[in-house]
Chain A
């Protein structure tokens, strides 16, 4: 008799996503859905989708969802969670959405210690709108709006959100992981699971940044894109837990 060893999580909708081949969004969606299944919280989970490539996330999860305006997902999540603390609320945001236009919302949600979870997909570009520069774009990186490469003397260095948020005094769980290899994907799952567990336990604000690929706007094949994370992004964006409610942090 054969045994099922791999199947679609219940919380993941049985549809084809619109993501490009090699894009990390799909992987992270699956991880979030697995965590929802494993914690048995599907019936009380509400997601908040951003404006970005994952704008259609509400079609891909079998849970109730909001679609927020660009950058404001943490404010929408705050409203929902404060109104119904028994719900498990997560916001899913890209780097343009979270670190550029939505900088105020994420900083204040984190500082208030809002008890929801934020999944932050950092792919160093604005994917949806065709590859413009993001606050996370690497020095020298050519994008459609930094045609001469990001010049840090003109626009500063890429923003490291985990470091920035973990400088706030309020309690929280803040971690950075990566989706570029099977081993790192397993660690990503661990971090996201931990975040949801802490929310279920009503502990603190929880935030997981996932270094992600955008092969389309990086002009790379998927494997090359994974390599880019390893070689270019990891030295600047260290992985690890930056803050956790018991005060321990571990950086790689």
Chain B
């Protein structure tokens, strides 16, 4: 199986971390992984995205024209990456910040109110982890338990964030399961 992902949003929404946690989870499961950030002038403008591939086979091109999954955390990202999801692919929309959807009929479209849930849990910045939880439930790209381990390990130095991020990922996962 090969999961290709583009996750996009404003700088500061934690989309690079979303991608990195997926890649780290893939690595933990001994899969092939690659993660590439957008870099360049657009970063000053505030939008940001990364591409992740998790695969059972060696990864050739790390540049994915039409990924089979896309997660958009803000509206400009929906406009930019919505059209690029491959046929039969998945588009996951952060409905807290995006009040529209895609008119494509050849893909699966799901929504998650990531910011609202994160705020309920006490910190809007965990929206990325809510979305990650939902994403794992929808794609099964890696095991959810692996993601939880990655969250625990990655925040090992900032213990106060562990519970919040675990809770956020779990809520997202449950909501989308």
Asked if the two chains touch in their complex, CB atoms less than 8 Å apart, one says yes
B60 interface residue per 8 A CB criterion: no
Is B44 engaged at the interface, CB distance under 8 Å to the other chain? yes
Write the A28-62 contact mask toward B (1 if CB under 8 angstroms, else 0): 00000000000000000000000001000000000
- Residues of B29-79 at the interface with A, using a CB-CB cut-off of 8 Å, are 41, 44-45
Interface string of A1-24 (1 = CB under 8 A from B): 000000000000000001110000
Within 8 Å CB of B45, what residues of A?
Answer: 18
Residue interface mask B89-111, A partner, CB < 8 A = 1:
00000000000000000000000
Secondary structure type dominating chain B contacts = helix
CB-defined contacts of B44 to chain A, threshold 8 Å: 18-20, 53
Hey, what's the 0/1 contact readout for A58-81 against B, CB within 8 Å counting as 1? 000000000000000000000000
| Cβ–Cβ < 8 Å partners of A19 in chain B | 44
Contacts of A53 in B (CB 8 A): 44
Q: How far is the CA of A20 from the CA of B41 in the complex (A)?
A: 12
Bound-state Cα–Cα, A53 to B45, Å? 12
CB-nearest residue of chain B to A53: B44
Query: A-side binding surface: helix, strand, loop or mixed?
Result: loop
Contact with B along A152-195 (1 / 0, CB 8 A): 00000000000000000000000000000000000000000000
Closest residue to A20 on the B side, CB-wise? B44
CA of A18 to CA of B44, assembled, Å: 7
Cα(A57)–Cα(B46), bound, Å: 19
Complex CA distance for A26 and B41, rounded to whole angstroms: 17
Q: How far is the CB of A121 from chain B (nearest CB, A)?
A: 16
Task: Give the Cβ gap from B175 to chain A, nearest Cβ, in Å.
Answer: 33
**Alpha-carbon distance A125/B44, docked complex (angstroms):** 16
Min Cβ gap A123→B in Å is: 14
CA distance A19 to B45 in the complex (A): 8
Name which residue of chain A comes closest to B45, CB basis.
A18
Report A-chain residues with C-beta under 8 Å of the C-beta of B41.
18
Q: Which residue of A lies closest to B11 (CB)?
A: A216
In the bound complex, CA of A171 to CA of B103 (Å): 68
Cα A18 to Cα B45 in complex, Å, equals 6
Q: A19–B41 Cα gap in the complex (Å)? A: 11
Measured CB to CB, the nearest residue on chain B to A21 is: B46
Please, which residue of chain A has its CB at the minimum distance from the CB of B46? A20
Nearest A residue to B44, CB-CB: A18
Q: Shortest Cβ distance from A104 into chain B, in angstroms?
A: 29
For A55, the closest partner residue in chain B by CB is B41
For residue A56, which residue of chain B has the nearest CB? B41
What's the nearest-Cβ distance from chain B to residue A16, in Å? Answer: 10
What is the bound-complex CA distance between A20 and B44, given in angstroms? 7
Nearest-neighbour CB distance to chain B for A98, whole angstroms, equals 21
- Name which residue of chain A comes closest to B41, CB basis: A18
CA distance A18 to B40 in the complex (A): 12
The residue on A at minimum CB distance from B42 is A18
Smallest Cβ distance from A156 to chain B, in angstroms? 30
Q: How far is the CA of A132 from the CA of B131 in the complex (A)?
A: 33
* Alpha-carbon distance A20/B11, docked complex (angstroms): 12
Interface centre among A18, A19, A53 (most CB of B within 10 A): A18
- CA–CA, A70 and B9, complex, Å: 32
Offer 6 A-B interface pairs, CB within 8 angstroms, sorted by A: A18-B41, A18-B44, A18-B45, A19-B44, A20-B44, A53-B44
The 4 closest A-B pairs by CB, nearest first: A18-B44, A18-B45, A20-B44, A18-B41
